[in-house]
Structure 1
């Protein structure tokens, strides 16, 4: 028996097949091999075609099936993880009405900020735990205000993972966790926020059926099963945003446990048993995958838009023909501090932890006689690590003091320079695991299907591959303070 995990990322779609009893990954594939396009028809806009995600998934699964390492007919359950905060809109025939407005799109910031003030700061923080900011609800408000001909055709709104589930099964559903990440959920009333819906003038019929995260979200359509080589009895038993799902994949489920990722964006995600709200909405709080009204489990999320995409930009500019392994090796030849070079990586839309400011990316203190490609590559990874440190200090202001952070051996955490810079700058050890979002989604499917009796059983075989301890903390601290001065000059100039 096998479980299929799907991870709808910004750069690609990844699938993993996990054997149920051993909990071992049989294979993983992804598509496309290079970064998927992001369409930006205007400055600070970011869109993707949901049908591209569907095509990428089918091609990734075809590659996995072609390995011959398992019988696709023995897959019994599907779990889906997805890029958070996106907006997909479909009509009554389940046809996509426009490109998805994805997480790093900044067009709705002004609408969200206005709602924060007019609904009331205290109400928003107490009931939604966040400002409407740049989240899904505000993106929908932008469509309503600017594309009324499209808005009036909308039958249902969805997040990216809901769309893939719809394509598989024909069913459309959501969850409390998903609604909270769109800032549609009222935590005090434990229901869809009528205040926000009324403020924006949204009809509640736009919201799909609300189901638990771990539940049956539909059975695969017969025609789709035949096309994909799967059994027609396969069910979708789990859906979650990529960061709650990443935390699940690392068994970060209880208060005080913390996970981190550094893909296209970067995230530190800590679990709390409190309804935490940052007074400035620099970090955000959503319902975790195991949230219940009688057992609160929230995920306090620090998101940095400009992380892996900054590293990718550096590769395209300086070494597009080189592998990331080679890029990492080159960066390692530069000393700690990159010979004084400093990179601020915030060039991928408004940064929530900087109060939704568009600070932009920059390279500072360039010495044309000293600095080489390796120094720039290292400064990029150190600058990303310093951005994590800046955000972690905000989380500490909100009462989260991680003693250990868990991360998957993926993306930037595969770079020794980044790992050492991250733990040196934050002074927090990191446990690294050979798990990723698609594996976590597969195990989530096992939980939702009832194969695993509880969340603990699903992760009984999970063990860290290695641990990175902080070194050269004083040296990283000195460099961080210099980086922070540059950032604050940029912030104050806006």
Structure 2
């Protein structure tokens, strides 16, 4: 038996073909454009997602016995607002997770509705990237589009709808909408009322590993696959990546270095961060998790390399940075290129280099970019530690995890053992495993993890380097508060 995992990312869709033993048989990636209509805005055309996914599936299964493919599922970029009209046509480009236009709407939700009420209704407060503030933004700024809404869905759920005709979402992805009662795993009537929408326009909720349906006849025929291929609900990309790295059960941690950076802590019990700096979401394994999210992680490095240094030789740029440089860099980088979510919740925050002198080098600045992301991740980890969560080791996945230098920096900045899974596929691998559970190959997600997930390399922090980085981190922590008011005046 074979299974397809689809990771609907921000820059591309990544597809994985895997058998029930966890062997990767093929992988395909297809890119699509992203637009930034205004500073801080971020949009994509959902039709591009679907078209590239269909092409990707065809490439993925070339030469494969089509009858052997039994299931498919998803990991997808979270929070994006996809809206359909009465003809099931996309009304406008999707507003993405890293879009910061909803400053006024978040202020209204957090200050007028109140953070206590929002936390009571959804276990979370309003962040600019969440879906509910986007709906209010439409109501306030594009009333014609708002009035045409007949279906509201998340990015991966648009794919599921096009493939199966089933209007669905899963609990992990729904948790990031600020419309979902996380504790009770149902839509929040109070939040729907605040946004002026009815439950009729919201999808049916499934657990991530549950079957939602099978391929529509025309889709199955186009792909040459059986009409009985099981499609599972799937999960938000971070929950799917957590499954792919084995971060299930209680008190395990996964850090993802993708376009965004996340600190993901699994929990058997529902819990809320008292300061609302971390998100409290449902997990793809049927339980819960806390998550801190920084909006720019590996994307800061690609920005620095591609747009500023104008190079694709990432390894060459990093090769000049030795272990003796760890904790000795006096150049700092604030990685807030798209604003910041955890823990600052400030869409007005911006990136900045600080501390340069006449002897600062290109390598110092490259190192500062990597360290800035690590410090941002530590901000999230420190919030968790303040809640009594003892994080001593973490799994690490995402494109940034391919850099051994970055792995070492993160281990020492966070003072945790960093463990890399054998597979770096993350969300697409987790999606395959969710499809296997939906097909009955494994009785639950934890069993699938035990059978499939393996680990390769680990990085242990060095006590002396940790001590130096503690000093640097304490300096880094002072920078955002000092610049916050200045950032606010930069935004129109």
Please, what TM-score do these two structures have when normalized by structure 1?
A: 0.92
* 2:79 counterpart SS class: coil
1:48-97 deviation per Cα after TM superposition (whole angstroms, max 9, x unaligned): 1111111222333333234x4x3344211101110011110112332111
**Is structure 2 residue 376 aligned with structure 1 residue 383?**
no
Using the TM superposition, give the Cα deviation of residue 486 of structure 1 relative to its aligned residue in structure 2, in angstroms: 2.4
Using the TM superposition, give the Cα deviation of residue 357 of structure 1 relative to its aligned residue in structure 2, in angstroms: 4.5
- Structure 1 residues without counterparts, runs of 5 or longer: 292-296
**Is structure 2 residue 413 aligned with structure 1 residue 420?**
no
* 1:360 counterpart SS class: coil
Q: How do 1:155-304 and structure 2 match up within 5 A?
A: 155-187=150-182, 190-291=185-286, 297-304=287-294
Aligned counterpart for 2:50 among listed residues 54, 58, 62: 54
* 2:264 counterpart SS class: strand
Contact in 2 for aligned 1:113/1:133 (Cα 8 Å): no
Judge which range, 8-17 or 460-469, deviates more. 460-469
Aligned counterpart for 2:303 among listed residues 307, 310, 313: 313
Corresponding residue of 1:118? 112
Q: 1:152 to 1:127 in 2, by over 3 A?
A: closer
Corresponding residue of 2:86? 92
Aligned counterpart for 1:43 among listed residues 14, 34, 39: 39
Contact in 1 for aligned 2:338/2:349 (Cα 8 Å): no
1:446-493 deviation per Cα after TM superposition (whole angstroms, max 9, x unaligned): 011222122233121322101110122112222222222223322365
Corresponding residue of 2:445? 455
Please, what TM-score do these two structures have when normalized by structure 2?
A: 0.92
CA distance in 1 between partners of 2:133 and 2:176 (Å): 12
Corresponding residue of 2:385? 396
Contact in 2 for aligned 1:88/1:157 (Cα 8 Å): yes
Tell me how many residue pairs correspond in the alignment. 481
* 1:210 counterpart SS class: strand
* 1:270 counterpart SS class: strand
* 1:217 counterpart SS class: strand
Using the TM superposition, give the Cα deviation of residue 310 of structure 1 relative to its aligned residue in structure 2, in angstroms: 0.8
* 1:137 counterpart SS class: helix
Aligned counterpart for 1:362 among listed residues 323, 341, 352: 352
CA distance in 1 between partners of 2:323 and 2:182 (Å): 50
**Is structure 2 residue 458 aligned with structure 1 residue 467?**
yes
1:1-31 deviation per Cα after TM superposition (whole angstroms, max 9, x unaligned): 10000000112110000111x2211122211
CA distance in 1 between partners of 2:281 and 2:53 (Å): 27
Contact in 2 for aligned 1:338/1:379 (Cα 8 Å): no
Contact in 2 for aligned 1:334/1:378 (Cα 8 Å): no
Corresponding residue of 2:421? 433
- Structure 2 residues without counterparts, runs of 5 or longer: none
CA distance in 2 between partners of 1:303 and 1:243 (Å): 10
* 2:159 counterpart SS class: helix
Q: How do 1:1-150 and structure 2 match up within 5 A?
A: 1-20=1-20, 22-32=21-31, 36-66=32-62, 68=63, 70-134=64-128, 135-150=130-145
Using the TM superposition, give the Cα deviation of residue 229 of structure 1 relative to its aligned residue in structure 2, in angstroms: 3.2
Q: 1:325 to 1:74 in 2, by over 3 A?
A: farther
Corresponding residue of 1:482? 475
CA distance in 2 between partners of 1:421 and 1:228 (Å): 44
CA distance in 1 between partners of 2:234 and 2:43 (Å): 22
Contact in 1 for aligned 2:80/2:95 (Cα 8 Å): yes
